[in-house]
Structure 1
Amino acid sequence: MNEEILALYRAYNQAMATDNTVALDQLLAPSFTLTHMTGYVQPRAEWLKELRQGTMKYFASIEEHVDAQKTDTGWHLVGQNRVTASIHGGGKYTWPLNTEMVIGRVAGTWKIMSAVVTTY
């Protein structure tokens, strides 16, 4: 596995777990979308705004498994983490989340293009 891609994935999870929107802003492509386990496709700006406002609050992300495969245009990564969060004022829960990411180059830098989250 490519160490740079693994580091990007881990930085994303660390930034998410600490609500570090400054770091996420650097890691995400301008066109990034996050597809939640509900199926809702959330634009980058809306997700970051919810993090800043505390509407979505993450507390921890514990990595259990990650694998990445090179593609013609970048990388396809699948990671499994136990994520603790409070979403839209609900209780604090831990979910086993499977995240599929598309990672590509933007102006010569690896960026997360999209993430699709389901449970496992």
Structure 2
Amino acid sequence: MTEKQALLTMYRKHNEYMVAGDIDQLGALLADDFHLVHMTGMVQSKQKWLSEIKSGQMHYFSSTEEQVTVTELTATHAILVGQSQVDARIHGSRNTWPLQLTLQLSMLDGHWLIRHIDASMY
């Protein structure tokens, strides 16, 4: 498997675990200093995002991938942009959003980890 394929697989696992509510597997993909910037501008740490998934404050019903591209790749850094239709209930409001996630990944201890995600609509 090439590095690019490994990153694509990681992105798909991220979405799979998010929808399954599997915070242990999802958390294993995230660096300790991970931050997510939601499309509203709200910034969440790894711990806060995972706790809101666990509590049901953020519940992802489905994520249907439309396009995903690795836009930058070096030995230690990568940027991946994925576009999906995401059906979710966020703090009580349910909708299907055309969600673009821009993932910044770093190679740490021989493994790719997601360090940062910027979420926006496309």
Output one character per residue of 1:58-106: Cα deviation in whole Å (capped at 9) or x when no partner.
000000000002146311100100000001112x210000110101112
Q: Deviations over 1:4-47 (max 9, x none)?
A: 00000000011111111011111111111000000111111000
The match for 1:100 is 102
- Kindly provide the amino acid, as one letter, of the partner of residue 14 in structure 1: E
Q: 1:71 to 1:115 in 2, by over 3 A?
A: same
> Aligned pair 1:85/2:88, yes or no?
yes
SS of 1:49's partner is: helix
CA distance in 1, matches of 2:33, 2:18: 18
> Percent of pairs identical after alignment?
39
**What SS is found at the alignment partner of 1:38?**
coil
TM-score, with length taken from structure 1: 0.94
**Aligned equivalents of 1:105, 1:73: Cα separation in 2:** 5
Q: Helix, strand or coil: the match of 1:2?
A: helix
> How many pairs are equivalent?
119
SS at match of 2:49: helix
Q: Which amino acid aligns with 2:52?
A: E
Does the C-alpha gap of structure 1 residues 107 and 73 become closer, same or farther in structure 2, counting only changes over 3 Å?
closer
SS at structure 2 position matched to 1:14? helix
Which of 6, 9, 21 is the aligned partner of 1:19? 21
Structure 1 runs of 4+ off > 6 angstroms? none
